[in-house]
Structure 1
Amino acid sequence: MTTDEAGSQRLDKWLWAARFFKTRPLAVEAINGGKVQVDGQRVKPGRAIRPGTRLTVHKGELEWCIQVMQLSRQRRPASEAALLYQEDEQSRLKRQEQVRERRERGLQAPTHGRPTKRDRRRLSEFIGRDG
């Protein structure tokens, strides 16, 4: 992993290198939309961050509260990218619980939307109407 010689790096570039976002434009869009905060404040994509900076990243329903440990100019494999930051224990547990709940909801039958052809046939049989 290469560390920036100046000791700081653009926020959007770091989020991309740490694999929070697939592309830098997606990182910029999230930062501009207020989904990423540095030390509890909204910032611009060009904000310089250093090791020790605290970030809050929101993606969908999930939230990461992390501390920057290292900087990297390149996007590396996920195992190496995970070394760039350290997540708070409370944040990690909360996120894992949200993922578990979402998986459980996904296993249940959908309760909204239009009925399928099979649902309509069963309803017709139940009501006693001829299709």
Structure 2
Amino acid sequence: MRIDQYLWAVRYFKSRSIASKACKKGQVKVNDQIVKPSREVYPTDKIIVRKDQINLSLEVLDIPKSRVGAKLVDIYRVNTTPKDAFKQNELQNLAQDYYRQKGEGRPTKKDRRELDDYTEDPN
């Protein structure tokens, strides 16, 4: 089975075209090699997918015939992603939320002046 089709079948991507684009961008590695979407996947392959700034790693156990339900995904893969990968992403999101709320847009002129006053050299 193709890598893009496999990632779609085990529900890492919503559609096969999104999985294919991720492969073309170099966000998918099989056995530590960047792959094209047409690369065949076999049991015991180790896959790393870069998604939402997290490197998700998995090991292929079996190849599904088609897209599987969410409860059956664990039959076809083993999730080997370390737990600290998710914690690091949470900290990054908290830092972004503290700086500026989503939807506020660019800093205003007043915001820029306040930043300049804050970062200005006291000499």
Report the equivalent of 1:104: 94
- Give the 4+ runs in structure 1 shifted more than 2 A: 102-109, 111-115
C-alpha RMSD over aligned residues: 2.6
Q: Percent identity?
A: 24
CA distance in 1, matches of 2:5, 2:68: 12
Instruction: Kindly provide the amino acid, as one letter, of the partner of residue 34 in structure 2.
Output: R
Report the equivalent of 2:106: 113
1:66 is the counterpart of 2:55: no
CA contact (8 A) 1:13 1:73 kept: no
Match of 1:84 among 76, 82, 88: 76
The alignment's TM-score, normalised by the length of structure 2, stands at 0.73
Point out where structure 2 has 5 or more consecutive residues left out of the alignment: 115-123
The alignment's TM-score, normalised by the length of structure 1, stands at 0.69
CA contact (8 A) 1:30 1:36 kept: yes
Q: How many residues align?
A: 109
Instruction: Kindly provide the amino acid, as one letter, of the partner of residue 29 in structure 2.
Output: Q
CA distance in 1, matches of 2:92, 2:10: 24
CA distance in 2, matches of 1:92, 1:64: 8
Report the equivalent of 1:5: none
Point out where structure 1 has 5 or more consecutive residues left out of the alignment: 1-8, 124-131
The structure with higher relative contact order (CA 8 Å, sep 6+) is 1
Residue 105 to residue 77, structure 1, CA distance change in 2 (3 Å): farther
CA distance in 2, matches of 1:94, 1:113: 32
